Every structure is written in C-alpha cells, then in structure tokens.
Structure 1
Amino acid sequence: MSNNRRAVPGIRHYAGPAGGWGALKATAIAVRTQMDTFDAPATLLRTNQPDGFDCPGCAWPDKEHKSTFQFCENGAKAVTWEATTKRVTPEFFAEHTVSTLWSKSDFELEGYGRLTHPMKYDPQSDTFRPVAWDEAFARIGEVLRGLAPDEVEFYTSGRASNEAAFLYQLFARQLGTNNFPDCSNMCHQATSVGLPRSIGIGKGTVSLEDFDHTELVISIGHNPGTNHPR
C-alpha cells in the first residue's frame, strides 16, 4: 500500500495519546485561536449545563449534570467556532475572489470567522459584495414568491441553535411546506429505511438505560474524546 496520502489542512500525523493532556492542549489552542481568552472559560463551563446551553455538536445524553466539565474536546472546539471573535468582513471578500476561495478546504474557510454582512455574488469581479439587509430580504422574497412552497428546501445545519431552528421551521410552515431537512436527518434517512427492514428498528438497539446495567462496554473504531459515538 502506498504511503502517499493527500495533504489535508489541519490534519497531520500524530503519535501521542488521544486524550488526557493532549486533548486539553488541543482545546486550549482552539480557544486561544478563536475566542476571547477572558470570556472563554465562562462560556465553556456553561456547555451542557441546566442554566447554560446545549453543545452545538453534541450527542452527550442530558440525564444528570454532576460534572463541571460536561463536554469533550470536539464539543469544546465546536463551541469555540460558534463563539469565535474572528470576522469575515466585506474587505476580506474584496481581496479574495470566489475562484480563490473555492480552492480552500472547509477547515480553512471556517477558520476565517463569521460573516458580518449579507453578501451578493458579482460575476464581473468574481467576488461577493455586501448588500443592505432590506435588499437581501427583498431578493429572498422575490425568489420565494416565484416558487411553489414544496419547491423550496429550507436546509439547516445541525449546529444551528434550537431557537434558530424553531423560528426557521415556523417560517417554512407558514409558507406552506415542511421541507426542511437538516444534516442530521439527511445522514439518517438511509438508516430510517434500511435498518427497520433488516433489524426492525431505525436506530441503535441500545438505550441509554442499558449502560446503567452493563458490565462491559467495548468501543471500536472511534475516539470518544474527540469524536463521540452517537
């Protein structure tokens, strides 16, 4: 087998432990890179807490909150990406053509930060240019009025907050459709059909309560510290 592997930004060989101090170091680097150092600890300590917020990338069971740290390394990174202080301004887009950005990886694009303005593609300059909110909403309304409700797909990210997703689906239902898949159900649509036909249930056969009574758990093929098994 060839040892030549495609270079992926942010991915490199690592021979150390998958958790412990290595995970803490990786979390600290993510926090330092993305967030305000003074605000970060308070934000992370509210993750998956009754008086806080759900982790945007988490499948951690909300059963009891007995620990101060109710998140894994990947969860901490997801929070830092949402709470990042980095901003992608109109000046950034003026300096980077869409063709140039198209060559970037998802990892690199997310590293630039969050958008500050609605943007509109300008084919003449091959750049995104800022538009006023009123103009952006007017354009969205113009397109929606030209389509039947079920011709529109209101796709959402699984990392969207529950509050944002709730308002979004209300808008879609008011328009007259329930066509709003998110990344989670698109991933699981295959299992919702294939698994019931093969084993009779559309998801894993293990319930959360089973873990209270088990004597041995074998985890194969993933690192729960950084890629939590769902």
Structure 2
Amino acid sequence: MIKVLLADDQRLVRAGFRSILEDEDDLVVVGEVSDGEEAVAACRALQPDVVLMDIRMPGSDGLEAARQIAADSRLADVKVVMLTTFDVDDYVYGALRAGATGFLVKDTEPEELLQAVRVAARGDALISPSITRRLIAEFAGRVKAPAPSPRLAVLTGREREVMELVAAGLTNDEIAARLVLSPATAKTHVSRIMSKLDVRDRSQLVILAYESGMVSPGWLTD
C-alpha cells in the first residue's frame, strides 16, 4: 500500500486529490496539511511514501518543506512531488534542487496523477518527463556553463552513458532498450550511480548532470 500525504492550502484541491487516490486499491491518503511546516511534521509522524506538495502555501512554503524533508535522514524514503501551475514555472528548478522527486501541474489528468504517485513511490523516474526536461533545460540555461566536475570521475564509461539518459528523462526500461541491457541491469547501474555520487534520487541526478557540465540544455530533446 502506497501512503500519500496531501499538502495544499486549498481544501478543494486536497479533496479532489483524495477522491482520485482513494478509489485505488493500492493507494491510501494518510493525512492532509495546509502549509510547509505542517507537512514536515506530518512526514515525521506518518512516514508517507509520497507527499503531493503545493509549491506556494502561506507561511512555510513547499520549497522550504522539501529542503527540510530532503535534509532529514529519518525521511530518506519520503518522495516529494511538487504541485505547480505553468504561471509559476520559475519555481520548478528550485523545487528539484530542494530535493523534490519531480512535479505535476495541478490540472493534470487523474490517470497521470495516479501514475505519478506510483512512479514516485518506486523512485523509478521523474514525473512528467517531457515537461520536466523542457523546464529544467530552460532554467539550467540561465546558469553559466560549468566546467566539467571532477566529482564524476568515479563513474565508469557505461555509468556516464546511463546518467546521460537519466538526465534525458528515460525510465529504466527505456535506458535498457537504448543500451541493449536488461531492465534489471539498467536499474542496478542507476542505483550504483546514485550511491557513488551520494544523491537522493533520479531528479538529483538530472540536476547534477547539468550543474557538473555533463549535459547542456540544448542536448535534450522531447
């Protein structure tokens, strides 16, 4: 059973998400909160698998809450999916840097919401990969091109290939097909890369791929 926490200051939004999620046999909403401070406290008390977190909330916002959750070793297994709208795209890159697994637009279709929660729970891929790639590329493009990072020297040639494909938003199955590997081998490579680079999840690999100079915004295509 996947445990979900809803963090949004709009009661109607929370009610809508709860209705969609609790129609599914494998999903349960364990709590609702209306600001970031409450979200962090609820995560510590309830240990959800996934938090659907609004970026903009009164008081402590979703970005600050995501940072605190990512920094708390007791919450290492909690995945944060940020809720946004296209008029707040400037927050998306910051959300991923803050430790969010990915993001969804608030008017997403129910099927996409359900898929996103399940994908986030298993840590398999970024949420809405095509949108994520476009927005990360846009905001990474505002940052001065970095010099290649020596941090990546620990990776083998194959691991660098895999990390580049993770940065393109590919799932383990898609990486396996591209590199002619088994899905299990692709998953092992991704896990080993995250361990070597000491990153929390795949979205952090994407950020690192940009900020270390491994890939540039123009390198990605939808």
Q: Same fold (TM over 0.5)?
A: no
Give the number of the structure with larger relative contact order, counting CA–CA contacts within 8 Å between residues 6 or more apart: 1
Relative to total residues, which structure has the larger helix share, 1 or 2? 2
Greater Rg by CA: 1
